[in-house]
Structure 1
């Protein structure tokens, strides 16, 4: 492994772990706030227990998210100094504001964790809401910085120099809204189904059923609503990519030839040598409609992209297919769950529904990882689209491969520690809140 590949791999590893911690940290406070609100309105003690249990999880992921996010910030400067030299002054504002949001989140979380029976009950609840809002704002601001890499704005690039810098225009670049919307909804989908899946498993085991049933419903409703909204944000994102990053769209769909009424490819194995896709299901005109809202519109193929500017086709295509496939599965499960809530309440007592949620526990995060793979790999070979190539931004410092090995060991260890801490929290539920099947 050369140093360039090691630098990219280390950044991908760090981002891959951090995105899980940050998604949960962004979304869980809203689950916590809902259960807390239900406790204040109904005075049902189980909702208080759920709120306290979830708040411990929020604290765990806040800490791990803060650490992994800090590491990412340092890696930008250490691994990609040329990038930060030029890009830092342009897109530094969202990172600065993200720091402010982080401090607000930390203060609000401290108030919430230690404010039980000390603050006015509604002010205490409000501090939990602030944790969620500030966490979500942090995520949006970081995504705005990444979106700038896909749609650079706020400067003039003249003779290799970055002039007339406008940080506001850079932050609110053309890609920020579609990426932020898609990422925020994805975080709710992934976290909702993951949390619901864990509580569904405990219900199947008949452990503290009332506690886990109430937890399951809150998480499942959030996840299901988000899953049904995700296709809307996906459509917005697809249209933006088609207009501004045709090479990425062509790689996502393994679309080799520019044509009108372009078919949407489902599955398949890209054959780059023969410029075709084997074993794929093709829906005539669907790609043209997805990209341009016109079944007969022309869609740019890879044949119009210089070879040296084409992203890795197979990786981008497979990641996109995984993301969309999982999205469809979770959307179908969401529909089934809402049918159960409104029309077929007997389904809620059936083990098959709970087992489907247990099966879906990791799927949302797999889709998130696949989506970020599409975003990052699909932009290659550019670190700043059409301005700076990734290979030109990497550090000249040797020995990056050893750094990659060390960070791999650290992140794997961290994941086991977090998993153990969450497992211990779940196992403590019967001791803290009762173990009877129903209450």
Structure 2
């Protein structure tokens, strides 16, 4: 394994684990706050017990998210020093503000966890809301930094005069860098994805407990709160996906072409479902084609021209196979979750007898991993589809790599650390779910 692949693999591993912890940490506080609100309004102890149970889960994911996020911050400097040297002063503001949001979240979580029967009831509830809002802000700010890598802004760039020299970054504007052209579409898409993945995963776990007939009232109320969040977000997600697709088609035509395995520039380009790209022969096999739909998706016009990979220089072409397959996985799972969400909302609104049907609960159990697989696939599209650039059309990933040798060993060590961390988290969550009936107040 060469150093570039090892460094990219280590970042992919770290981000792949962190994004799961971060998404759950962003979203579960809202479940917790809604359950807490219902307890304050109704006095039903089941909601109080549910709030306490979820707050412990929030604490677990806050801790693991903080650790894995800190590792990512160090990795940016250690593995990609030239990137941080030039990019740090430009897009440092969202990282700084993310640190502020993190501290607010930590303080509010401390108030919430230790404020039971010590603080005013409504102020105590408000601290839980602050945990959710600050966690959400933290996630959006990090996504803004990533969006800057896809859509660099907030500076004037003078290319190097000779090979081997550095370009110059002048007239830096951190506000323009943070609110770059990609930040809104990426932040919206990622936020909804976090609610979809966490909503369905949490609802699925509680659905499993209902099927096993364990503490049914507790898990039923938990299931319905999580399912509503997940279902609504899943139905809204295609709207954000359409916004993101049009944005990528405009700013990053190479990534868009790789996502769709669109090898030849054409008008009335077909949208493909499935398919296996052959990068050597520049063709897509075994795909279902929907005529004109790709042109409409990209530009809102079924007759519009869509740039293909034939117009992208060979040394700037992203890996097509990985990008296309990841995109298909993301979209396919998103559609399945959207349909499941629609079924649940129909059941809650019109067909309430469905809510207790085993088939509906089993759908949610099957959906437990789907949202997070879709998120991992989506980030694969975002990062692999941008290659060979670390800063789009300005700095190549290979040029930002540290000269330090032995990165492969670092990758192996971090792999072991993250696997161990995941085992610990799963064990703690399993123990927490198993102990629910015994550790809380009785009606």
Q: Same fold (TM over 0.5)?
A: yes
**Shift in Å, 1:432:** 2.1
- Aligned ranges for residues 238-317 of structure 1 at < 5 Å? 238-317=245-324
Cα offsets for 1:355-384 (capped at 9, x unmatched): 010000000000000000000000000000
Secondary structure of the 1:282 match is strand
Answer yes or no: is 1:198 the counterpart of 2:209: no
Partner of 1:43: 43
What secondary structure does 1:396 align onto? coil
Whole-Å separation in 1 of the counterparts to 2:345 and 2:168: 55
- 2:156 maps to 156
Q: SS of the residue aligned with 1:428? A: helix
Summarize the alignment of residues 357-372 of structure 1 with structure 2, pairs less than 5 Å apart: 357-372=364-379
Residue among 207, 222, 230 paired with 1:223: 230
Instruction: Tell me, yes or no, if the aligned pair for 2:45 and 2:441 is still in contact at 8 Å.
Output: no
RMSD: 0.9
Aligned partners of 2:21 and 2:64 also within 8 Å: yes
Counterpart for residue 392 of structure 2: 385
Take 1:395 and 1:275, find their aligned partners in 2: how far apart are those partners?
34
Query: Quick one: distance in 1 between partners of 2:26 and 2:268?
Result: 40
1:90-144 Cα deviation digits (max 9, x unpaired): 0000000000000000000000001011111111000000000000000000000
Question: Unaligned 5+ residue runs, structure 1?
Answer: none
Q: How far, CA to CA, are the matches of 2:185 and 2:348 in structure 1?
A: 31
Deviation of the 1:434 alpha carbon:
8.4
- Which residue of 1 is the match for residue 67 of structure 2? 67
Q: 1:167 aligns with which of 168, 171, 174?
A: 174
Q: 2:240 aligns with which of 221, 229, 233?
A: 233
Separation (CA, whole Å) in 1 of partners of 2:349 and 2:176: 46
Write the distance in 1 (CA, Å) between the matches of 2:31 and 2:327. Answer: 29
- 3-state SS of the aligned residue for 2:272? strand
- CA-CA distance at 1:222 after TM superposition: 0.1
CA contact (8 A) 2:245 2:297 kept: yes
1:405 aligns with 2:417: no
Pair 1:340 & 2:327 matched: no
Instruction: Name the structure 2 match of 1:84.
Output: 84
- Normalising by structure 2, we get a TM-score of 0.98
Distance in 1 (alpha carbons) for counterparts of 2:140 and 2:350: 37
In the TM superposition, residue 320 of structure 1 has moved relative to its aligned partner by 0.2
Please state how far the C-alpha of 1:42 moved relative to its aligned partner. Answer: 0.6
1:112 is matched with which residue?
112
Preserved CA contact (<8 Å) 1:250 1:256: yes
- For residues 273 and 61 of structure 1, what CA distance do their matches in structure 2 show? 44
Aligned partners of 2:127 and 2:395: how far apart in 1? 43
Name 2:163's counterpart in structure 1.
none
Q: Is the 8 A contact 2:147 2:186 kept in 1?
A: yes
2:382 corresponding residue in structure 1: 375
Residue 164 of structure 2 aligns with which residue?
none
Partner of 1:101: 101
Deviations 1:189-214 (A, max 9, x none): 00000000000000000000000000
Structure 2 stretches of 5 or more lacking a match?
A: 160-166
